[in-house]
Chains A and B, each alone.
Chain A
Amino acid sequence: AQKITQTQPGMFVQEKEAVTLDCTYDTSDPSYGLFWYKQPSSGEMIFLIYQGSYDQQNATEGRYSLNFQKARKSANLVISASQLGDSAMYFCAMRGMMDSSYKLIFGSGTRLLVRP
């Protein structure tokens, strides 16, 4: 079975500083994908970044980067130069390629609060 664990229920960061949100996963699938989503207080789910299990380089999208450590089964999200608008819930998710439904399994989330 696949499992995503986010051990930080809540975090604070000072505006303009970088912050790392932790995510560990467990799967027996040899090929998988890892995703991060942002959920602001308004409720929508916004896709941020993707990392494939066979990707050689860590994924980056603007101020978001994914620190992928395959041996440790971790896929931490790094947000650089935090902005007030980054205050939100952040969810790590996984897709196993042997799962023909291609559904995403989500972690419990981390609530990030950016302080001015």
Chain B
Amino acid sequence: DSGVTQTPKHLITATGQRVTLRCSPRSGDLSVYWYQQSLDQGLQFLIQYYNGEERAKGNILERFSAQQFPDLHSELNLSSLELGDSALYFCASSPDMAGGNSPLHFGNGTRLTVT
């Protein structure tokens, strides 16, 4: 168990809808990262938050947004969903102490299916 909790585990919704994915980082970790993994592909970095503030943005669509709350949990909001948004969405956390050899610890992911 990585200590990173993601809910829900599965989500099925229709095109045009909006969903919210939730992530609780490991205790003590200040950084939260969101990644998207489409079918049989590697992980694409979406966005990172550190202690409540956005730190880095990757290939995140304008229809997507995220935030990190004072208790350090994070939410990823996906709106105007399209079929191509179907993917496994991962949250990962790290203590973010000078990077170094600290791995990212991943949650089990939320599998989003857009029909």
Contacts and interface: CB of A to CB of B under 8 A. Distances in A.
User: Interface on chain A toward B: helix, strand, loop, or mixed SS?
Assistant: loop
Interface residues of A, number: 23
User: Interface on chain B toward A: helix, strand, loop, or mixed SS?
Assistant: strand
B8 interface: no
A105 interface: yes
Contact of A44 (B2, B41, B50, B58): B2
Contacts of B96: 102
A10 to B, nearest CB: 10
A50 interface: yes
A70 interface: no
Nearest to A43: B109
Given A44-B108, A102-B31, A95 B99 contact: yes
Contacts of B43: 45, 91, 104, 106
